Every structure is written in structure tokens, then in C-alpha cells.
Structure 1
Amino acid sequence: MKNIGYALALFALLSLAAGCGANPSASPEGKGYIETVSDGGNGGHNGAGEAKPTPTSNKMTIQAYYTDDDIMELHPFVREIEVSPEHSKYEGAFNALQSEDGGVTTLWKHVELNSITFVAESGRLSMNISLPDEARLGAGGEALALEALKNTMFQFDEVKHIELTVDGRQVESLMGHVDLEHPITRPQ
């Protein structure tokens, strides 16, 4: 009989532990994706302390940077991105860098985004990517690709640093031609 009591107590503890962390909105602010949709500045609550419904997605207008056909210079283009609880504005901005609509030449088309997180306390945007062979560019293309990424991500005032890793590792150069800072810091 004592063993059944221990088994029930263990089961109750395991059930309680499994429930902890199951609610992603319970994580402290500033960890993982934090930018989803605007809640009007009141933390998602109305004056009575009740949670108010938030929209499932929101559209946002940004500038994404692309190059000319000769890969000689960057040009900004206005893009509309979707922001939702599942996709941050930073992920939307990266996806905009990859889109080729409007007759632009993208330098990020074949790059695979593995993860992207933003930590508000430090202003650090961490991006982990994979670079298949078709994503690799020459020296000029690599320099412009990094500049396009910086221009696109630093338009968000809260982003102070970009930590760009390849397959989870810090690399000296993204594609073998241009030094990669760790982290890339917003110009003053």
C-alpha cells in the first residue's frame, strides 16, 4: 500500500512538472521571440485586469535592401510583412530579404534561416543560418549581403547588435571573403 502512495505522489509531481513551461506566454519578457503585435502598451490587459484578445497577425511596412543585377550597389524597397505570435517582425524582415518580387535581385535567396531570437534587455538579435552552396557569393556579393542584412535589421531601433552564426557556430567570414564581427554592432 505504501508503494501505491509513493507512485501516486511521484505521478502528481511529474504531472505538475510537465505543466510548467507548457505555456509559452508565461516565459519572462525578453526571452526568445518578443516582438509580435502591438498591444497598445498595456501588456495585453484592459483596465479591469482581464486579458484582451490580440489579433492573430498584423501587417507592418519596412524597408528591405536588394542589389542591382550587376551586384554593385544596394537599393531599399518598401515591403509589407506579416507579424504574428508565430513569426516575429525580424523573421518577417529576413523573409522580405529573400523575396524576389518586384524585379529585384536578392542576396539572401538561398540562405536558410534556422532560428532568430531577440533579447530586449541587451538589444541583441541572434540569427542562426545555413549556407548551401547556391547561397555563396563572391567578395562583392558577400559584402553587399551583410550590408543588406544590417540595413534591414538595424531599421528597428531596439536592435543594437546582430549575432550571426552559421549552423550554430561563430565563423570568421560568412562566405570566405569578408570578416564577420561577433556581434555586428549598430553604427553610432
Structure 2
Amino acid sequence: MKTFKARGLLAVIILSAALAGCGVQDKPGNQPGSTAAPTATPSPEPTAALNEREAIIYLTDTELAETIEKSVKLQYETDTDLVKAAIAELQKDPAENVLALWQPIEITSVELTDGLVVLDIHLPDEARLGAPGEMLVIETLKKTLFQFDFVQGIQLLVDGAEVETLMGHVELEYPMVREQE
């Protein structure tokens, strides 16, 4: 009877060891003779919560006679991101009977420092307009960016340089400043 109990006890020990071994996964650090350290799962990086703001983007009618307001929702993390999002909206293809004068203009860089937006652009030939169009390009930019309280001025550069006029018709201010109400 002692051998029966000993065999039973031995069977329980072997079964317990086998069941305990089932929980071990085949990872490099768990293999016999392996020198690799077990890999840790990377913790997900915290993502900044995006802010959302409703803003007005200023476009123009097809006759270049007046500006047209378009309400949009902008997502951003910082004030600089908000300015970039607004400029990106100025460049989007608008609805029928509306023109986005900023669409063909290439944005080289956008910086915001102490309330001054420095916008460097490149003007391809198809972006060049007559005097009324040039005035509207400047007006739509100013109206769009000056709606943000933190924007106090806009420095508009063409290919990295200050120019007297954007397209040869309207003299530019350096910087263009928010008009006092």
C-alpha cells in the first residue's frame, strides 16, 4: 500500500509540474540556456489632447468683388498649430462660386513668436493676380489671422525676403499690424 501512495504522490507532483510549465511561453528569455533578457512591452506614449476651435476663413467670390466667410472647425495643440490650420483652410478648394485665392500659393514656413506670425511663401505664376486680386489675397489673410487674439502682426515674406509689393500692385507693411478698434 505504501508503493501505491508513493506512486500516487509521484503522479501528482509530475502532473503539477507539467501544468505549471504550460503557463510558460516560448520567449527567448524563457528558453533553457538562453541568455536573452525577457522583452518588456513598451508603454504607449501619451498623446496631447487636441483642442478644437470654430473659426472663420475668408474667401472671395468669383468676380473678386468681396470676401466671403466660411465657418470651419480647426484642431490644434498650440497657437502656432492653430495659425497653420487656418492657413491650410485658406488653401483648400472651396465650394462652388467661391475662390480660395491662397490655393495656388506655396507656404514655405509659418512661425509665431510673441504675437508676430512670420509667413514665408512662394508665388508661382498662376497665383499672381491683378490689383483687386492682390488686395483680396492680403485682406483674406489679415481677416483670417487677426480673428485670433494672440496674433498682433503678420510678416509676409516671399521666398524668404521682404518685398515692396506681393504681386506688383499693393504696397506691403512690415509687419502688417492689427487695426485698433
In the superposition, the TM-score normalised over structure 2's length comes to 0.69
Alignment of 1:56-75 (within 5 A): 57-75=50-68
Aligned counterpart for 2:75 among listed residues 59, 69, 82: 82
Give the match for residue 170 of structure 1.
162
Give the match for residue 94 of structure 2.
101
Deviations 1:44-86 (A, max 9, x none): xxxxxxxxx453534322100011111101011101223247x
Alignment of 1:27-42 (within 5 A): none
Q: Is the 8 A contact 2:120 2:156 kept in 1?
A: yes
**1:94, distance to aligned residue in structure 2 (A):** 0.5
Higher CA-based Rg: 2
Q: Is the 8 A contact 2:157 2:163 kept in 1?
A: yes
**Cα distance in structure 1, aligned partners of 2:95 and 2:74:** 15
Aligned-residue CA RMSD (Å)? 1.8
Give the match for residue 113 of structure 2.
119
Give the count of matched residue pairs.
134
Aligned counterpart for 2:152 among listed residues 139, 157, 160: 160
**1:127, distance to aligned residue in structure 2 (A):** 0.5
**Cα distance in structure 2, aligned partners of 1:68 and 1:118:** 30
**1:157, distance to aligned residue in structure 2 (A):** 0.6
- Residue identity over aligned pairs, in percent, reads 41
Structure 1 alignment gaps of length 5 or more: 1-52
Secondary structure in structure 1 of the residue aligned to 2:99: coil
Structure 2 alignment gaps of length 5 or more: 1-45
Q: Is the 8 A contact 2:94 2:100 kept in 1?
A: no
